[in-house]
Amino acid sequence: MFRSSARKTFLLGIVAYLLLGGLAAVFYLERTVFADIAFHTVMILKEKTFFVQNQRFVAAFTQAFPLAAQGLHLPLKGVLMAYSVGFVVYYGLIFVACTVWLRQWKMGLVMLLVSTLMVTDTFYWIQSELPQGLALLVLAFAMMLRYRTPEGFGGWQLGLLFALWFTIAFAHPMLAFPAFFILIFFWRKSPSRTAVHPKLVVASGVFVLLILLLKNKVLGPSTYDSEAMGRVENLKKLFPDYFNLVSNRNFLRWCLTDFYLLPISFLAIEIFYFWQKKWNKLLLFNVFFFGYLLLVNISIPNGYHRFYLENLYLPLSLFVAVPLVFDVLPRFGENGEWPKWGFAVLAVCLAVRLFNIGLAHRPWTARLDWERNFMRENPGKLLLPESKVPMDKLLLSWGSSFEFMLLSSLDNPSGTRMIAIEEDPNRHAHALNRPRTVITEWYLWDYDELPHRYFNPQDTSLYRMEASGR
């Protein structure tokens, strides 16, 4: 069925995604009881439908798992477990599609590297649509490499390709950079087994540009995207002091502690292209790698939570994965195959990264333990300012009400606790005299609006609001 390299890729990938799925099952609470994902889970259960925000339709693929669990009347633990493991299933299915359906084992390797090379905190902060869109980008290029020319596609395959491009363009604004990197990388005047015909490249590029134009100029970007794109003004404000930034120093430190395979891969590619005198590839690689890295760091010059910045850095793993898989390693094999030692090195790297991902649960488990202890030590319904809690442990406050709802309801829906930690709790002071109201960051709900199978609070006392100050 497979050539040697394809078979090794498939086996490595299946083992890796099974192990990632195991970690996702073990640490399902660390992955689902936090900020965005906790909010989305509550909204999905309450509305009994998809909860897609900011026009990022790609989220529907992973939201199908908790919806299916709800439809099967699974308890809350089953819903959270399905949501957590569903993300790994999503990435694993794209890997299988690349290797089995499209027979593009090299793109399967790219998918595998994108899932492991830099992933640490983003294994536990799973809601971002950027890595979900990045996976679809890998699938889109696997299709392009499989069919190579517009004439090579059948009608439904071409329709699927452009549906993928449409979803990718809406998934996250930063995906435009890896999309155009890989389009240029596979541009060839004379198509070969690892090339895409210029007509298909141009058609795809034009389609992506039209979708971006539709999204940003006709429909208008979402508030979230507008705020994010507004940070680009730092390119002018900080010029020319681009390199003495906190975010740059943080990134270099993380390259030593967690992203260690990234600089090693980067140096291997630099040396290879210089040695082979492939100046165009060398220029393309450096322009996109450093251009993207500086754009992220200049946009957030003073740094932020690592899980958030790691998420934005993930396209860097694609920038190194594609040259490694398609140019560097095949140079040492025969007929486009990888050398045997290449798969041995990959297996060792995957084992190290999976071990690192498993160890990374500790701060995420610690924050869950703090929330559990807080509920035990503080009875009743509470509305608190951030100053009353250790924010270095909690990380973000806006999702706290959803997190406490989920944690307290796991064993018994009637035990649902109402605790909200906010930057400015005074804005909800008008709701303190309502005994059957749920206070969250954006919504005030009556108890009867909740799905009682999962959340059935019995406490009809009033919220206690703590004053600010330490």
**Which amino acid, residue 33?**
V
- Number of Cβ within 10 Å of residue 250's Cβ equals 17
pLDDT value at residue 466: 81
pLDDT value at residue 225: 61
The answer to whether residue 281 is domain-embedded is yes
Q: Which range is least confidently modeled, 29-38, 106-115, 189-198, 433-442?
A: 189-198
The answer to whether residue 470 is domain-embedded is no
The edge-to-edge listing of strands for the beta sheet with 419-422 is 419-422, 382-385, 464-465
352 and 367 in a single domain? The answer is: no
pLDDT value at residue 220: 67
Q: Is the pLDDT of residue 85 over 70?
A: yes
Beta-bridge partner residues of 439: 444
Distance in angstroms (rounded) separating the CA atoms of residues 58 and 291: 26
pLDDT value at residue 335: 77
Both tokens of 107, joined, read 């793109």
| Inter-CA distances, 214 with 52, 165, 207, Å | 19, 13, 10
238 and 341 in a single domain? The answer is: yes
Could you list the beta-strand ranges (E) of 186-267.
none
Instruction: Report whether 371 contacts 404 (CB < 8 A).
Output: yes
The answer to whether residue 110 is domain-embedded is yes
Distance in angstroms (rounded) separating the CA atoms of residues 361 and 11: 26
302 Cβ contact list (under 8 Å, min separation 6): 245, 246, 247
**pTM attached to this predicted model:** 0.94
| Inter-CA distances, 74 with 41, 83, 304, 413, Å | 14, 12, 37, 13
Both tokens of 359, joined, read 């160890």
pLDDT digits (tens, 9 = 90+) for 146-165: 998 888 888 899 899 999 99
The answer to whether residue 66 is domain-embedded is yes
292 and 321 in a single domain? The answer is: yes
Distance in angstroms (rounded) separating the CA atoms of residues 16 and 349: 11
pLDDT digits (tens, 9 = 90+) for 270-322: 999 999 999 999 999 999 999 999 999 999 999 999 999 999 999 999 999 99
Domain boundary among 319, 338, 359: 359
pLDDT value at residue 196: 80
The answer to whether residue 61 is domain-embedded is yes
304 and 346 in a single domain? The answer is: yes
DSSP string, 406-449: HHHHSS-GGG---EEEES-GGGGGGGTT-TTEEE-SS-EEEGGG
| Inter-CA distances, 204 with 40, 42, 146, 218, Å | 32, 37, 15, 20
Q: How many domains does the chain have?
A: 2
Rounded mean pLDDT of the chain? 92
418 and 332 in a single domain? The answer is: no
Both tokens of 20, joined, read 């990632």
Tokens 């009637």 identify what position?
414
The percentage of the chain sitting over the pLDDT mark of 90, rounded to a whole number, equals: 80
54 and 149 in a single domain? The answer is: yes
Domain boundary among 359, 377, 411: 359
Distance in angstroms (rounded) separating the CA atoms of residues 139 and 350: 21
**Residue 287's domain spans which residues?**
4-359
Task: Provide mean pLDDT across the span 384-409.
Answer: 96
Model confidence at 452, pLDDT cuts 50, 70, 90, reads very high
337 and 206 in a single domain? The answer is: yes
Beta-bridge partner residues of 465: 383
319 and 386 in a single domain? The answer is: no
369 and 330 in a single domain? The answer is: no
Tokens 């993930």 identify what position?
314
| Inter-CA distances, 10 with 2, 3, 96, 144, Å | 9, 10, 8, 20
Q: Is the pLDDT of residue 470 over 50?
A: no
| Inter-CA distances, 32 with 16, 28, 80, Å | 21, 6, 6
382-385 and 444-446 strand pairing: unpaired
The answer to whether residue 426 is domain-embedded is yes
189 Cβ contact list (under 8 Å, min separation 6): 198
Both tokens of 263, joined, read 């600089």
Model confidence at 1, pLDDT cuts 50, 70, 90, reads very low
419-422 and 382-385 strand pairing: parallel
pLDDT value at residue 148: 83
pLDDT value at residue 279: 95
The percentage of the chain sitting over the pLDDT mark of 70, rounded to a whole number, equals: 94
The answer to whether residue 184 is domain-embedded is yes
Domain boundary among 359, 378, 400: 359
Distance in angstroms (rounded) separating the CA atoms of residues 257 and 2: 37
289 and 367 in a single domain? The answer is: no
The answer to whether residue 449 is domain-embedded is yes
457 and 371 in a single domain? The answer is: yes
424 and 446 in a single domain? The answer is: yes
